Chains A and B, each alone.
Chain A
Amino acid sequence: DVKVTQSSRYLVKRTGEKVFLECVQDMDHENMFWYRQDPGLGLRLIYFSYDVKMKEKGDIPEGYSVSREKKERFSLILESASTNQTSMYLCASSAIGQEAFFGQGTRLTVV
């Protein structure tokens, strides 16, 4: 059974904190993605990575950075958390042009 695992289901952080969201996949996929999911806005792509140490900005990269030091792990970093980053964050992985597999999501609340 394929697996994409996000390190936390729920997180509560304070404004200004540096926040790390971790994602691990066990399918040897080249591509990994971070999205945020908000009601009425769907899934918006924050960053994606197509190889180790390779990344590209998605549609809403401001306030976020990413790290991919190993093929199986893709981290999303909120440099200085703000209340407008309160959201559900979804990680996904895929082989090139193939089905994407999703993690269970991390609901982040910034207070």
Chain B
Amino acid sequence: AQRVTQPEKLLSVFKGAPVELKCNYSYSGSPELFWYVQYSRQRLQLLLRHISRESIKGFTADLNKGETSFHLKKPFAQEEDSAMYYCALSNSGTYKYIFGTGTRLKVLA
């Protein structure tokens, strides 16, 4: 069965500190992995996807198939990074799009 696990409901860090939001998945095939972000009073939007290997707003995420992880990282957190972050998994074979429970990131001044 497809599953996405985000173990932390809340992560608080100080401005300028490194950030790592954890995501683990279970899927037997080759999934597409994504990170979505929801800022206050805004709709959910894509932050990045593993296939593009981009850095967006200073965030990066590496797919580790051995550990079935897709952790989101940023070396220096900014206050504007405070938001809800969701890890998601999709697969072209099943069409389903599954999300984790989300991690709320609070960046403290």
User: Does any Cβ of A come within 8 Å of B46's Cβ?
Assistant: yes
User: Does any Cβ of B come within 8 Å of A102's Cβ?
Assistant: yes
- For A6, give the chain B residue with the smallest CB separation: B43
Q: Residues of A at under 8 Å CB distance from B?
A: 30-31, 33, 35, 40-45, 48, 50, 56, 58, 90, 92, 94, 96-100, 102-105
What secondary structure prevails in chain A residues at the interface with B? strand
The answer to whether B92 and A102 have CB atoms under 8 Å apart is no
The answer to whether B9 and A100 have CB atoms under 8 Å apart is no
User: Does any Cβ of A come within 8 Å of B69's Cβ?
Assistant: no
Q: Kindly identify which residue among A30, A41, A45 contacts B97, using a CB–CB cutoff of 8 Å.
A: A45
Q: Kindly identify which residue among A40, A43, A50, A102 contacts B95, using a CB–CB cutoff of 8 Å.
A: A50
Among B20-74, those with CB < 8 Å from A are 32, 34, 36, 43-46, 49
* Cα-based distance from A31 to B96 in the complex (angstroms): 9
The answer to whether A42 and B91 have CB atoms under 8 Å apart is no
* A-B contact list, 11 entries, CB within 8 Å: A40-B101, A42-B86, A44-B99, A45-B98, A48-B95, A56-B95, A56-B96, A90-B44, A96-B95, A97-B92, A102-B43
- For B92, give the chain A residue with the smallest CB separation: A97
